[in-house]
Chain A
Amino acid sequence: MTFSKNKPLIPLLLLALAIVMPLIFKHPYLMRVVIMIFYFGVTAYGWDVIGGYAGQVSVGQGMFFAVGAYSVALGYLVSNLTPVVGALIGVIIAMLLALGIGSVVLRLRGPYFTLSTIAACEVVRILLLHFKEATGGPEGLVIPYNGYNLYALHFANDLPYYYIALGLLLVAMYTCYRVSRSKLGYQLAAIRNDEDAAKSVGINLMKSKVKAFMISAAITSLAGAFYVTYDHYIDPFSTCSNEMSVKILLIAVLGGRRSLWGPLIGSLLIIPLMELTNAYLASVRPGAAMLIYAMVLVAVVLYAPDGIASVFKSAGKEQKGDDKLAAN
């Protein structure tokens, strides 16, 4: 199940389906859920670059999402920048943030990296909450909607937002795919397997891991940047929080790390259920959905470390040599 030259049929069919589907089914709520699936899919692909391919568990991806979202929102509200430029600025800030954190802690072995991602996410949130004048503090920022405006990416219905999200998802998938097949992908695979051996073939561990972290940050901030154009609203708790970071990790790990389809599968499974439970269970039993996911996560970690995607894969056929980087 890859974009391999001999079997492009299934992915192409899926893509065609994704393009045509919203034209046929015009259910607004369903559309919203699918857009959410795409955005969280993007964040999960972003996580997979650092958490999957580089093997460095990040529990702070929410901060990159927030950086993207706030860049777009503030850029538009303060300087009337189009979200496209805002997103670009967000990507740059996110990458610099990743560079800063990464170059300090990725040289250390052990839990330091994970810890510092948690801490950094907390720091960013505390700052967002503290500088109320600029960020709106806990109330967040609202981007007023004044009718169709292409410059501001304001559309009359959800269809354009759907295609933006789909486009972003394709970009994220393709980036992940390229990374896994690139020199960097091989270097990360080497590092994941054995750091000493990686050094013996001239791999600069820090450089490769930091690169991966920066790519991961860029993808995640893009998701935040365009999500805010769709939602018109951003606040620190729903983006730059431990909960958000954990959700992103959960989607990627449940779906399957280091696999082309894993993050999307994870998002497909988790987001609709979360939406459902939020809609119907939230008032009765908040936390019920997370409880289920936590149990599935523990089960996956213990019994199917390659995630749910691997179940599909092994049901399909024997692992080909071609899938090697994705398969472990």
Chain B
Amino acid sequence: MLQINNVSKTFGGLKAVNDVSMEMRPQEIIGLIGPNGAGKTTLTNLICGFHSVDQGHIILNDQDITNKGADFTSKQGLTRTFQVEKSFKDLTALDNIIIGVLMHEQNVNVAKEKAEAIANKFDLYKQKTVLARNLTIQSRKLLEFARAYATNPKVIILDEVMAGLTSKEIDEQLELIQEIASEGTAFLVIEHIMHVIMSISQRIIVLQEGKKIAEGTPQDISSDPVVIEAYLGKGDEA
């Protein structure tokens, strides 16, 4: 469904992303890990069209979406959350979700109804009239997830949405991700909390210095000597 072919990006002489390829199928949950500065967020920006790629192609459902711009990419069904959360701060939680629904809906009233249902699904219903700026950062991240889901996407990239959650909240969110995946949406999950990634991902991709150094099941990855050397072995907090 989503194919990333040999994508590269250079910033001021530094290869931020270097010849990365990967593939995603419907319903799949893929983990993307790597040390800080490995290029995870840059890769996300490239896939979603926020930065232009220097080389390579991004293909979604047999359509080449390389360098077509973020709004176009989102419209084709590939959307994201942001590492530094970007909710619409001066709007209510419900309005945030409505804007997501409106991507494929013309009628504002219909969008409102759909958004209410989504707010419910994401357990944001009680806060629906609260301005996003008054929500906790965790709720705002969840809101971003809800907004992305509201666009009815084929692929969602979640950029560290679980930072700062309690383990109970993490479990709830993992359940939500799995539920949405079972409806057909694929997920690319970027997360630092290793056991979360290990428990939810069917496949894991490891980036280091802009390069893909490993790909495989969580078991493969956790026993891969290259990964351990590059990443897992470096500290206990990982």
Contact = CB atoms under 8 A, between A and B. Distances in A.
Nearest to A183: B102
B90 A328 contact: yes
Contact of B74 (A183, A202, A325): A202
B82 interface: yes
Contacts, number: 93
B88 A194 contact: yes
Contact of A186 (B70, B87, B98): B98
A201 interface: yes
A192 B99 CA distance: 13
A187 B94 CA distance: 14
A205 B71 CA distance: 8
A210 to B, nearest CB: 14
A321 B71 CA distance: 28
Interface string A179-201: 00111001101101110111111
B66 interface: no
Interface in A38-58: none
Contact of A324 (B48, B72, B82, B92): B92
A80 interface: no
Contacts of B49: 199
Given A183-B106, A186-B95, A328-B91, A201 B151 contact: yes
Interface residues of B, number: 37
B80 A200 contact: yes
A311 B98 CA distance: 28
Interface string B77-92: 0011010001111111
A197 B91 contact: no
A192 B111 CA distance: 20
Interface in B151-195: 151
Nearest to B104: A202
A324 B100 contact: no
B79 A189 contact: no
9 contacts: A183-B102, A187-B99, A189-B88, A200-B86, A201-B148, A204-B72, A321-B92, A328-B91, A328-B131
Interface of A: 181-183, 186-187, 189-190, 192-194, 196-205, 321, 324-325, 328
Given A189-B91, A196-B82, 5 more contacts: A193-B88, A194-B87, A197-B82, A200-B79, A200-B80
